[in-house]
Amino acid sequence: MQTRENPKTEGIDLDHGAFGRHGLSDVVTHFDRCGYVPLPGLLPEETVAVLREEIAAVLPLSNRKDFVMECMDNTPRHMTTVSGLAIAERSPAIVDLYHDPQLIAGISSVVGRSLEAAGDPVERHVLNMLHEAGDTHGFHTDDYPVALVMFIESPDCPDGCGRLEFCPVENAHDAQTRSHAVGDAYVLRSDRLKHRVQPIHNGCRRTVLNFAYSVEGEPVEQTPSASLLYT
Ligand X SMILES: O=C(O)CCC(=O)C(=O)O
Which residues bind to ligand X, rule: CB under 6 A?
A: 128, 137, 142, 149, 164, 195, 197, 208, 210
Tell the smallest beta-carbon distance from residue 98 to Fe ion (Å).
16
Nearest 10 degrees: Cα torsion 219, 81, 102, 218: 0
Q: Which is nearer to ligand X, 11 or 88 (CB)?
A: 88
Pattern 97-136, Fe ion, x by CB under 5 A: ----------------------------------------
3-state secondary structure (DSSP) of residue 81:
strand
Tell the smallest beta-carbon distance from residue 200 to ligand X (Å).
11
Residues 155-194 that bind Fe ion (CB under 5 A): 190
Which residues face 209 on adjacent strands?
127, 150
The yes or no reply on residue 142 touching Fe ion (CB under 5 A) is: yes
The yes or no reply on residue 143 touching Fe ion (CB under 5 A) is: no
What is the distance between the alpha carbons of residues 7 and 209, in angstroms, rounded to a whole number? 21
H-assigned helices in 99-223? 101-111
SS3 percent helix, strand, coil of the chain, rounded to 5, is 30, 30, 45
Number of H helices, E strands in the chain: 6, 12
Q: Which is nearer to ligand X, 78 or 195 (CB)?
A: 195
Q: Which is nearer to Fe ion, 57 or 228 (CB)?
A: 228
3-state secondary structure (DSSP) of residue 135:
coil
Q: Which does 164 bind (CB under 5 to 8 A by kind): ligand X, Fe ion, none?
A: ligand X
Where along the sequence are the contacts to Fe ion (CB under 5 A)? 142, 190
